[in-house]
Chain A
Amino acid sequence: MDYKAGICNFCGTGCGHLLKMKDGRVDGVFVSQNHPVSKGRLCVRGWHMHELLRTEERITSPMIRRNGVLEKVSLDEALGYISDKISKDIKNPAEELAFLASPRSSNEDGYLLMKLARSVFKTNNISIDSESGHRNSINVLHRGTGMAGMLGSLEEIEKAEFILVVGTDITKQNPIVGSEIHKAGLRGAQVVTICSRESQIAKLSKKFIQVKPGTKKIAIAAMAKTIIEDTLYDNDFVKKHTEGLDGFANALGALKDEDIPALTGVESEVIKAVARDLVKAKTAMVFFSSGISGLDEDTISYIYNLFLLAGKVGKEGCGVNPITGICNLQGSYDMGLAPDLMTGYQPLADSAVIKKFNTAWKTDLNDKPGKGVYDLLRDGSSKLKALFIVDHDESIVRFSKEMKSLDLIVYFGAFENSFTDYAHVVIPTASYVEYDGTYTNTERRVQLSSKKADGDKNIQAAWKIYAALAAKKGANWNYASASDVMAEIARLTDTYSGISYAKFTGLGGLKWPCDDKHPGGTARLDIAGMKGALKFVAVSGTYAVKKAQDQNPFLLMMGQGQHFWHQNNIMKRTFIPKREYNATLLLYPRGYVEICPEDAKKIEVRDKWPVKVVSAHGSMQVAVKVTGDVKPGTAYVPYFIQDMISEFLLEHKEIIDQGENAIIPVKIEKV
């Protein structure tokens, strides 16, 4: 049997697939019919996973930069070099050393990287670059329910009578989740999309509410306001299971009914009707993208409060569901790849937590939370000297100037990448099918991807390399296998305590919390099993919206309208996804900005003509794409185009952190 069951490693949906193996090498891919999430489907990326996995464009040997050139060395020499250099040059690791982890690493890889950083190298400066993305979702959901992850379940989408999609172009980012939503719609569920741009899911929704850029929060708040004012909510549910409604109701007071149409561009009655439908439906779910260019914390708070108010949290077929775009983004947070967290969302600053880990790791941890890597790079006064970077598949290198001034950059990865241009030491890691590893998808589903391909015998799994580096510093961890690593994670993490490799039989993995009370995992947040009440979270109570100014009449918004974002480095090693990615880039080589036909006429430009986009901070020249997907006054730019990111958008640093809700007033002129 050449076909072996496995997990697709691209986005956070975590579809099942089967890989065809030939002579220890991946030779084909096929859908998994019985996988609970993908149910026999794959997207264009999943269908070409084999093209990526059989590529020979790998980093083949550890390298050290000598006289400006990367020279091949043995792994032992490279690790020795790193260990010595850090011992010599880094006197204050808590300020001078940082780790940029990868949301693509397996849980075992991420956990040991975290252990390496904190217990061996004594620094808490470890983060993935989604600090301002998925962290927002996790913070809100944890604050409100104690669950630091998606509340609902992808398997229950078919049970939702009402599905709200906020923002995200989900059929392009997580196509199989989009497919589930679409099929639920075909079966009679009411699908409503709130977005500034007519994405495919908007076309497939029963109702599409096209709000002005940056006003999704207002639409959500308006819905909540109607439900409270007309007392549409279930009073029993709210009394019995929630607390804090008064605070939320007060915060909505500042939103005036008469302002809503002007702010959002949508009639009040339209929004009220949707609110009524939401409450009436027996079950409802909300989806929004979480990660870089996801929603900001305030908007997510309003969404969560709205659904709590409507009683659509903690039951079958219900949930507030942030969708992660990268295979182990959720798992990375579960493994504590954040400056202030240990595993399972246990706060680093908590003395009981520190004691527990000190005992288990036989070490003496620094209990002061660190800083995120991009915060350190951004901060001109930081003392950062050395940086470890793991498998960042973005060719977009932010803060390249600051990186050039560091004394030591170590890069761990499987594929060639522009980060290696900055690296002093490069260490190859095995690709994900060459070793065992678990990955946690967007719905807290921990799935095991077992070793299938042989790979180069000299290139090890990332976690093994971290263990070897720890050993160089005198910490002998002695893990016999990835299963051992997971066993340790389970011992230290309540939500993962019931997970072990022995339990990974069949398809579908285990959804945390998986503990004594839930030995088979937990499908969704369940009120029935909860002790405390669900809390309404604090919201800003402010409803100001960036308006277009006279000089800058357009509101520029960003998003992820394509299959391939972050210039996805790994997809460039495929044939067909790369061709599809290039199909757009070839039409618009320097990227494009979308405006509607009326605006194009006003500026006197036609499709593909060059335009200059000018904001208060800078300007860029791109082609214009004329499309009816956006309304007059809106300009849209897909996040993935390199030149625009590094040259123009990076000027608006604070705005990057606001993700999807970032709005830049701009002027667009014919060139």
Chain B
Amino acid sequence: MYLINKNDVKKIAEELSKSYAVYGPVVEKESGQTFFEKVASMDEIDLGAPIPSMPPKGIVFPQIESIMTHSYNRETKEAKVKAEFGPEPKALFGLRSCDLTGIMCLDRFMMGQEYVDEVYLAHRKKMFIVTNTCAIPFKQCFCVCTDSGPSAKEGYDLNLTLIDDKYLVEVGSEKGQKLVDSLGLQKAPDDYVGKKQTVVDESIERFEIISTDNKAWISRAMNRMTTGFVKPEIWEYIGNQCFECGACSFVCPSCSCFNIEDVNRPDHSVVRLRAWDSCSFEGYTRMAGDHNPRKPVEDRRNKRFFCKLSYSQSKKYLRPGCVGCGRCAWVCPGDIGLPNVVTYIRREITG
């Protein structure tokens, strides 16, 4: 553990900027929203800014990107194929714990299992992560219920916690240790462990009642979902409120469904695009020849929450699919973000 003065904390970012493209929370003036953006100068970073409205997953999993170009000339029979992705060193400075958990969910899914997704790997390689403990949760947050905050426990290179006028810097990896050494940071006295715990505890106290009153509210719903005791009427009730916009999947830090499209360009080459997709859409599962196994909207809602909350998913990945960031709640036109859905399911249990 190390310490750095509050006013000097950006020196870490400056040091990182020597070998990485630095991303940090920046407030867009006209809209007043925070984005996790690439910065040219460390002054742009505002560590006190609210949780980024756009999940930083967009850095490792862009909303739309070209992964390949190819061209084929039918007369000369010449075919050319070229990959368009490649690693670029990135440093994420001031990432919130929930968003880090989301990236780790994506890591497990995209780089684990049968194949390593090369496109994701290219974005994710050479990444330095500096997380920032949330001392004050936002109104929508419930990371305490999904084991993803308010302070990151793993997966970071450095973890910052603001204690009085200093930042506590915890090292989580060799890379982090090297950076701390190169900056010559002062070691933190042992009592900072307790001080940090105090900051975390106080933060937890500030969460909305619904999160802290009964931390098991999500896991109870998970159990219910998995054992199949949620009545179809509940799914119909939820499905009626779905506006089929896809927003929940787009803002969710752990959603990774994507679409692939080949687009013909005016010069007759073809670019293969990868873009965010969502299981909320009717056309998502439709197959050639009309068969659509998931046509009714309530089936699609069922699928989404099953994917996020069922016990079998959490058994596979060792944690729920939800990171408690609360974005799906404010972005949903129909008011069926995850917290509300869990409430409906619980209401069904309790009557």
A touching B, CB within 8 angstroms: yes
Q: Decide if A42 touches B245 in the complex (CB within 8 Å).
A: yes
Could you tell me if B265 and A56 are in contact, using CB atoms closer than 8 angstroms?
Answer: yes
* B247 CB contact (under 8 Å) in A31, A32, A33, A56: A31
Of the candidates B31, B240, B263, which one forms a contact with A33 in the assembled complex, judged by CB atoms under 8 Å apart? B31
Beta-carbon contact of A5 and B28 below 8 Å: yes
Contact A576:B281 (CB < 8 A) given known A31-B331, A43-B333, A179-B333: yes
Instruction: Tell whether, in the assembled complex, residue A28 and residue B37 are in contact, meaning their CB atoms are under 8 Å apart.
Output: no
Contact A507 B31 (CB under 8 A): yes
Segment at the interface with A among B57-65, B97-105, B115-123, B165-173 = B57-65
A51 to B286, CA, bound (A): 21
Instruction: Say yes or no: B335 contacts A182, CB within 8 Å.
Output: yes
Once bound together, how far apart are the Cα atoms of A204 and B243, in whole Å?
11
Q: A41-B333, A182-B335, A575-B261 are in contact. Are A3 and B37 (CB under 8 A)?
A: yes
Given contacts A18-B28, A34-B33, contact A583 B330 (CB under 8 A): no
Is A178 engaged at the interface, CB distance under 8 Å to the other chain? yes
* Range class of the B interface residue count: 35 or more
Contacts of B91 in A (CB 8 A): none
Contact A28 B58 (CB under 8 A): yes
Contact of A576 with B54 in the complex, beta carbons under 8 Å: no
User: Which of A2, A28, A183 has its CB near the most chain B CB atoms (within 10 A)?
Assistant: A28
Residue A262 lies at the interface, judged by CB distance under 8 Å to chain B? no
The reply to whether B243 and A43 contact each other, CB–CB distance below 8 Å, is yes
Q: How many residues of A contact B (CB 8 A)?
A: 50
A575 CA / B292 CA spacing, docked (Å): 18
Q: How far is the CB of A45 from chain B (nearest CB, A)?
A: 9
Interface check B275, CB cutoff 8 A: yes
Cβ of B277 under 8 Å from chain A: yes
Residues of A within 8 A of B283 (CB): 576, 579-580, 582-583
Closest residue on chain A to residue B63 by CB atoms: A28
Counting chain B CB atoms within 10 Å of each CB, which of A2, A30, A44, A179 scores highest? A30
- Does B107 lie at the interface of the complex (its beta carbon under 8 Å from any beta carbon of A)? no
Among B241, B246, B259, the residue within 8 A (CB) of A182 is B241
Complex Cα distance A671/B210, Å?
Answer: 59
Q: Mark B27-54, 1 if CB is under 8 A from A, else 0.
A: 0101111010110000010000000011
| CB neighbours of B265 from chain A (8 A) | 56
The contact of B286 among A29, A182, A586, by CB within 8 Å, is: A586
Cβ–Cβ contact A27 & B333, under 8 A: no
Chain A residues within an 8 Å CB radius of B63: 20, 27-29, 50
Asked if residues A203 and B275 are in contact (CB atoms below 8 Å), the reply is: no
- Closest chain B residue to A17, Cβ basis: B31
List the B side residues contacting A51 at CB < 8 Å.
64, 275
Q: Which residues of A contact B334 (CB under 8 A)?
A: 179, 182
Inter-chain CA distance A332–B37, complex, in Å, is 38
- Give chain A residues whose Cβ lies under 8 Å from the Cβ of B26: 1
Flag whether B250 is at the interface (Cβ < 8 A): yes
Is B184's CB within 8 Å of the partner chain A? no
Q: What residue of chain A has the Cβ atom nearest to residue B273's Cβ?
A: A575
Kindly list chain A residues whose C-beta atoms are within 8 Å of the C-beta of B64: 27-28, 50-51, 54
Is B259 in contact with A576, judged by CB distance below 8 angstroms? Answer: yes
Closest residue of chain B to A580 (Cβ to Cβ) is B283
Is residue A175 within 8 Å, beta carbon to beta carbon, of the partner chain?
yes
Instruction: Assess whether A175 is in contact with B333, with CB atoms less than 8 Å apart.
Output: yes
Q: Is A664 an interface residue (CB 8 A)?
A: no
B179 on the A face (CB < 8 A): no
Is B299 engaged at the interface, CB distance under 8 Å to the other chain?
no
How far is the CB of B65 from the nearest CB of chain A, in Å? 8
Interface flag for A40 (CB, 8 Å): yes
Task: Judge whether B243 and A575 touch: CB under 8 Å.
Answer: no
> Once bound together, how far apart are the Cα atoms of A1 and B244, in whole Å?
30
Chain A CB within 8 A of B290 CB: yes
Interface flags for B315-344 (1: CB within 8 Å of A; 0: not) read 000000000000000111111000000000
Query: Residue of A at shortest CB range from B278?
Result: A576
B286 / chain A contacts, CB cutoff of 8 Å: 583, 586
Chain A residues whose CB sits within 8 angstroms of the CB of B189 once the complex forms: none
Q: With the chains together, A44 CA to B245 CA distance in Å?
A: 4
Q: Which residues 270-288 of B sit at the A interface, judged by CB distance below 8 A?
A: 273, 275, 277, 281-283, 286
A44 touches B241 (CB 8 A): no
- Whether a CB of chain A sits under 8 angstroms from the CB of B112 is no
Docked-complex contact B240 and A200, CB < 8 angstroms: yes
Q: Which of A35-73 contact B (CB under 8 A)?
A: 35, 40-44, 46-47, 50-51, 54, 56, 60
B266 neighbours in A (Cβ, 8 Å) = 56, 60
Give chain A residues whose Cβ lies under 8 Å from the Cβ of B247: 31, 41-42, 47
Q: Give the complex CA separation of A582 and B335 in angstroms.
A: 27
Our pick among A3, A175, A583 for the contact of B245 (Cβ within 8 Å) is: A175
Whether the pair A583, B282 counts as a contact (CB closer than 8 A) is: yes
Contacting pair B38 A32 (CB below 8 A): no
Report whether B333 and A31 are in contact in the complex, using a CB–CB cutoff of 8 Å: no
Given the known interface contacts A33-B330, A47-B246, the answer about A579 and B37 at a Cβ–Cβ threshold of 8 Å is: no
Do A1 and B240 touch across chains, with their CB atoms under 8 A apart?
no
With a cutoff of 8 Å between Cβ atoms, the chain B residues found around residue A32 in the complex are: 31, 33
A171 at the interface (CB under 8 A from B): yes
Distance of A579 Cα from B261 Cα, bound (Å): 11
In the assembly, what is the distance between CA of A60 and CA of B35, in Å? 34
Q: Given A28, A54, A576, which contacts B246 in the complex, CB threshold below 8 Å? A: A576
Q: A3-B54, A4-B30, A32-B33 are in contact. List 5 more A-B contacts (CB 8 A).
A: A33-B31, A171-B333, A575-B261, A583-B286, A586-B286
Closest 10 CB pairs of A and B: A179-B333, A583-B283, A28-B63, A5-B30, A579-B283, A5-B31, A44-B245, A41-B333, A203-B240, A580-B283
**Complex A-B: 27 CB contacts under 8 Å:** A5-B31, A18-B31, A20-B63, A28-B58, A29-B63, A30-B54, A31-B53, A31-B331, A41-B247, A44-B246, A47-B246, A47-B250, A50-B63, A51-B275, A175-B243, A178-B333, A182-B333, A183-B335, A200-B243, A203-B240, A204-B240, A506-B30, A575-B261, A575-B275, A576-B281, A580-B281, A580-B282
- Report A's interface with B, CB cutoff 8 A: 1-5, 16, 18, 20, 27-35, 40-44, 46-47, 50-51, 54, 56, 60, 171, 175-176, 178-179, 182-183, 186, 200, 203-204, 506-507, 575-576, 579-580, 582-583, 586-587
